[in-house]
Amino acid sequence: FPSHDTAIATIISRRPAVFQTNWAIRTESGRLSFYFGTGVTWRIHTTATAIITLNEWQYVVATYDGSTVRMFRNGVEVYSAAETAIPWTGAGRVEIGRINEALPDRELWHGFLDEVRVSNIARSPAWIRASLHSGNDNLLTYGMEERLAIGGAFLLMQLATQ
């Protein structure tokens, strides 16, 4: 949920130190970008046009399977390019909403982020679409909440169905 456009805003990154990059997902004037470092250079992949809408929740994903970089917005592939560089695999700290703790005011995300996930495998387009739709609040609730006593504690149950 970006609240205003900035030249560069980081959604999530993994960087062990300033000027070393494992990877980053960012927006650049509305375009979605995926960067990863090889230890020598950065590999940069960016959508050709602005696809990020201000003041609207969006589901964005970047994947790399060793041969192709793909980016998705709301379950739809918006970018695909061949890539064979080997990402640098050094340890690093994950930063959400900024590029690096050493540069705390640089490339900040302005807006909200929710349900950020990182995986060590490239998810398929079908998995990405299913994940998008599983996060939608489409459950219909019926009945009342029930409280069951279990060992002196209470378990709160909500009955729901699709």
DSSP states of 126-139 as a string?
Answer: HHHHHHHHHTS--P
Cα separation, 103 vs 145, whole angstroms: 47
Most confident of 73-82, 90-99, 101-110: 73-82
Q: pLDDT band at 147, cuts 50/70/90?
A: very low
Q: What angle do CA 9, 130, 12 make, to 5 degrees?
A: 20
Q: What are phi and psi of 37, to 5 degrees?
A: -100, 150
pLDDT at 4: 55
Hey, which of 17-21, 100-104, 122-126, 137-141 has the most confident mean pLDDT?
A: 122-126
**Which residues does residue 155 pair with via DSSP β-bridges, in sequence order?**
148
According to the model, what pLDDT value does residue 116 have? 84
Chain mean position to CA 126: 17
The residues facing 70 across adjacent strands are 63, 80
**Measured between alpha carbons, how far is 136 from 140 in angstroms, rounded to an integer?**
12
> Average pLDDT in the 67-82 region?
94
pLDDT at 101: 61
Least confident of 21-25, 86-90, 152-156: 152-156
pLDDT tens, position by position, 107-145:
767 778 888 888 888 889 998 888 888 866 554 444 444
Q: What distances in angstroms separate CA 40 from CA 14, 19, 22, 37, 78, one per listed residue?
A: 16, 10, 11, 7, 28
